[in-house]
Amino acid sequence: MRKIKLSKQFDDIWALAKKRNEEQGAVYGFEVDKSPRFHKIFKDNNNRFVVMGIYDSVKKKYSLFDTINLSGNYRYNKNQEPKEFRDMIKLING
């Protein structure tokens, strides 16, 4: 159940990144499909663990979140958004 909620949050973050890609393409006059700034990283490992992330091709930085971190890791509170998601939003907005 937690993985589904996290996937929805990541989809919302990715929608923001897609919007930024389209805005940047309109400003600089290039096709977004051929050279987007933000790239989606999503890997589903046998329906058990998921890796989600965003890569910024201009700044050469990325932010990743792996759901394996949720298994018994004291740093993650189930009632709060993971720090990596906040880092992704900072990467998109900054």
- Considering the entire predicted model, what is its pTM? 0.81
Better pLDDT: 32 or 40? 40
Better pLDDT: 83 or 80? 83
Mean pLDDT of 50-74: 84
Q: Assign 54 a pLDDT band (cuts: 50, 70, 90).
A: very high
Q: CA 68, CA 50: separation in Å to the nearest integer? A: 8
Domain extents in the chain:
2-93
The pLDDT tens digits for 3-23 are: 678 888 999 999 999 999 888
Is pLDDT of 26 > 70?
no
Mean pLDDT of 25-46: 76
* Alpha-carbon radius of gyration of the chain: 14
The arrangement of strands across the sheet holding 38-45 comes to 38-45, 49-56, 61-66
Would you state the pLDDT for residue 30?
A: 66
